[in-house]
Structure 1
Amino acid sequence: MSLAGILAACGGNDADSSTEEAQNGGDEGDTPSDVVETGDVDQGVEASGDEDVVLDMWIHQTGEDETDFYIERIDAFNEANDHIHVNAEIIIDDGGSSYSDAVNASLVAGNLPDVLALDGPYVASFAEADILMAVDDYLSDEDRSDFVDSILEQGSYNGELYSLGAMEASVPLYYNKDIFEEEGIEAPETLEDAWTWDEFMEVAQELTTEDRYGLNMFMNYGVGEWLTFMGAPFVWSNNGDIISEDGTTSEGYLNGPETLEALEYVKSLFEEGVVDLTPGEMQFEEGNAAMALGGPWIAVSAEDADLNWGMMPYPYSEQMKSPSGSMAYGVTTSSEHPDEAFELMHWMTNEESVEGLSEVTGMPPARISAFESMDKYQELPWSIMREQVIETAHARPQTPAYPVLTDAFAQAFHAAALGEDIQPVLDQQVQRVERELQRFND
């Protein structure tokens, strides 16, 4: 089965990681050409031949610090396991979808690696295509209970677990402390004090002036995964969903009354002029927006800009929900050494790896034990992100039709931002999703 169509949406503008998750790969039938071999290989130490098992692993390239961390962890795994040696390939990021192309080409050629990095929302596509093997039997109950629920949710398909992530993601409501102090506005500091939609709108309007927007939603990221990642919680918070729980239909969900009401609210934010449809890249960091719905990477850029900033919980309608999901690892069905491959997958997601990756990237950890051991998550502002990841995080739907579903929602969200009549757009997008779902429902 060719995954060219299924995986096409995996690349491009994906805001699930601390850097752009654009991915890269190589030529059909060969090892991907644009790769950096790592593990001990990168340092000139080849497998000695005494190892019982040699594993291949693919990792997408991100920022230099994050990539170096992956290399260090793989090197440490090789040193700790005399009977296993990992040959890892860091596939170079070219800003496109080449990582997906590499997976597709290697699938056709029959040379997939033993362990594969993949974007969490696409686990179902890989599982449905029989690329990933279920790992439930390998994971102990104690270990399973240490992962935050959203990591297990994003890694599961049809009741089986296929992937584990080392880091999570979230979208808090950032705010400019100086502006809030000037305007006499008190920011909520716990989930219990989170703003409702009405309260959020009122404050956003109050903070909007001729020279400043009340809110930045980073619409400059484009019409892509960001709009689903950041925007779908408006629907979930309104007791809605964008696909049925059993994944068989989007009719009555993506175009249902809860989704319509949520996008009408989003539409009103733009109609009231509190959000800029075309913000500058550093609008929030430069003080030209008082608040921002952004990922963990905004904390890094705000800190670099010397901004006096804080975090608040994601605003809600009927129930508190927040974005989640990031890169994960899976064992491929083509691996001849699944036991050892899971050992590697587990190593890359154990507490030491999870904690170290969080320190390097600023992304929240995937394990509860890491949250408990890291001091920064015990106090503001990062306690907000801890609370969201543990208590309100909601994974995007696991369906093999996800590439079409997420584009359909993003198109509808963008239509709302443009002030269009939303119901006809939703109805049209549902037709697209239903056609795609037929492929998997038959």
Structure 2
Amino acid sequence: MKLCVLAIVFLLSACYGNGTDKTDSTNRPSDRSTITSNAKITLTFWRNSGNESENKAYEKLVSAYLEKHPEITIDMTLIPYADYDTKLRTSIASGNFPDIMALDASNVASFAHAGALLPLTSYMRKDGRMDDIPASTLATYTYKNEVYMAPLNESSIALFYNRKMFEEKGIPFPSADPEMPWTWDQVLEAARKLTDPSKGVYGIDPAQGFQNAGATAYFKYPIIWQFGGEVMSPDGSTARGYLDSPQTKKALRFYSDLYNKYKVSALEYPADPFPNGYLGMTIEGSWSLSYFAEKFPDFKLGRDYDIAPLPKETRQAVANGSWALGISSRSKYAEEAWNFVNWVTGPEGQVMYCSITNDIPARYSAALQFPELNKYPKNIFVVQNQKFGRPRPVTPIFPQMSEAINKVFEDVTIGKKDLDETVETAIRKIDRDYAQMLSQSQ
């Protein structure tokens, strides 16, 4: 998989050249003049096929936009999630690029580095209302000082806890104030009281167990940040001096200790352990509220469980970034494409989209339009994201880097390997992959 991803990145780079050399956003709008004719302009738009509500929301957005712009046709292509990234990369490399594309935040840097994306900085500054978007959200879609994607929605995670289990053990509930989280020491203290291995009950699942690298990035990086650590340098070029910092190692050691020293976490759980009463606390996403309501209607928020902000050690932190919209650097219709992207990701489009999907809007003004997002429990997700959100490392080698970090968590926790040696191995791999990527793309 690693070689396949690298090969596609290099192919993109070879076809487009180094994007950082050819994507001066100050020239882009004038380089791509609006094409006028009596014929309708067709904009091709590729996105991953989402769930039913996401598909419905996009259909409504496109329909509403076309009512305002009868001179435009939107040719929207849905591609299965599992195939989307590879199909998009190979199609772009072969010259079959869409005008508009949806990308997950973690993939933006590789497409930008390859020169496949049009910088949107000047467009955003002109009429994209950048001050309506949290700076940390914009940073997620920024590579080498250029904004490449326009954010539509956000998601976030929080601490879910079983109220009845807390009451049985006489444990005070954590604060519901988004800016007053428990410390990890407080979580550990409660977890030790909640754990009962004889009943298969454990105190805390700190980061959704051990899943794929993408889940690791979203659920486990915040623990590193909360302890004051980092994963990579701000420019996404090296892990040296960051992944091996004392703060990062402290976070990794604490995570491992939850399983191996304190034994308040388990490597395996039965299906749906939290609503089924096998977990006293877990880290879940905002999407879990609707999942529990649908699948476990007798497991009631406010009666059986509640949520609180993510724990902290030295600081609060949560990962941000979701799917966003960008424009191909080779689109003949950059102005028209931007008009569509700007409307979809603007306040009106975000309200329309999130009213159907129940996601969190990326804009301050759009979030204010939903009363439920401004009170408990959903305000926890919103406030955390807006005030304490952080981009996962913005680097062209994000998949390889995530695999390496995922292996660190597994090796020190499951394999009980030496922490220092494991971290050093990961750093060498990450830095080697980055150097290889540079050499192949020059």
TM-score normalised to structure 2 length = 0.85
Q: CA RMSD in A?
A: 2.1
Q: CA deviation at 1:420?
A: 2.8
Match of 1:110 in 2: 95
Aligned to 1:14: none
- Residue 101 of structure 1 aligns with an amino acid whose one-letter code is T
Aligned-residue offset at 1:358:
2.7
Give the deviation of 1:159 after TM superposition: 0.5
Q: How does 1:114-133 map to 2 (within 5 A)?
A: 114-133=99-118
Q: State the alpha-carbon separation in 2 of the partners of residues 310 and 356 from structure 1.
A: 28
User: What residue is the counterpart of 1:280 in the other structure?
Assistant: 270
Higher relative contact order (CA 8 A, sep 6+): 2
Determine the structure 1 residue equivalent to 2:80.
92
CA contact (8 A) 1:216 1:283 kept: no
Structure 1: where are the runs of 5+ without partners? 10-48
SS at the partner of 1:394?
strand
What percentage of aligned pairs have identical amino acids? 26
SS at match of 2:316: coil
Q: Which amino acid aligns with 2:251?
A: A
Residues 91 and 54 of structure 1, relative CA distance in 2, 3 Å threshold: same
User: Distance in 1 between the 2:353 and 2:134 partners?
Assistant: 16
Contact 2:137–2:321 under 8 Å retained in 1: yes
Going from structure 1 to structure 2, the CA distance change for 1:422 and 1:357 (only over 3 Å counts) comes to: farther
Greater Cα offset, 393-402 or 348-357? 348-357
Residue 422 of structure 1 deviates from its aligned partner by 1.9
Question: Which residue of structure 1 lines up, in the alignment, with residue 136 of structure 2?
Answer: 150
Distance 1:60 1:439 in 2: 29
Alignment correspondent of 2:367: 371
Aligned amino acid, residue 263 of structure 1: L
**Contact kept? 1:217, 1:294, Cα under 8 Å:** no
Superposed displacement of residue 104, structure 1: 2.3
Please say if 1:433 is aligned against 2:422: no
- Tell me how far 1:360 sits from its aligned partner: 3.0
CA apart distance, 1:363: 2.6
C-alpha deviation, 1:369, in angstroms: 0.9
1:119 positional shift: 0.7
Distance 1:386 1:357 in 2: 16
1:55 alignment partner, one of 43, 47, 63? 43
Instruction: Say yes or no: does 1:251 pair with 2:251.
Output: no
Q: How do 1:270-419 and structure 2 match up within 5 A?
A: 270-271=259-260, 272-304=262-294, 305-306=296-297, 307=299, 308-418=304-414, 419=416
Q: Check if 1:166 corresponds to 2:156.
A: no
Q: Is the CA contact (8 Å cut-off) linking 1:238 and 1:317 kept in structure 2?
A: yes
Corresponding residue SS for 2:310: coil
Q: Give the gaps of 5 or more residues in structure 2.
A: 10-36
Equivalenced residues, count: 398
Q: Is the 8 A contact 2:162 2:281 kept in 1?
A: yes
Deviations 1:295-345 (A, max 9, x none): 122222222213232211111111111121211111011210111111111
Q: How much has 1:353 moved relative to structure 2?
A: 2.5
Alignment deviations for residues 388-430 of structure 1 (CA, whole Å, 9 cap, x no partner):
0111111101111211111111111222331332221111111
1:70 equivalent to 2:66? Answer no
Deviations 1:256-288 (A, max 9, x none): 222111100101111222222112331112121
Shift of 1:348: 1.9
How has the CA–CA distance of structure 1 residues 441 and 111 changed in structure 2, closer, same or farther, with 3 Å as cutoff? Answer: closer
Name the aligned partner's letter for residue 71 of structure 1: E
Contact preservation (8 Å) 2:232, 2:238: yes
Question: Which residue in the other structure is 1:213 paired with?
Answer: 202
Deviation at 1:220, TM superposition (A): 5.4
Using the TM superposition, give the Cα deviation of residue 239 of structure 1 relative to its aligned residue in structure 2, in angstroms: 2.0
Offset, 1:82: 2.0
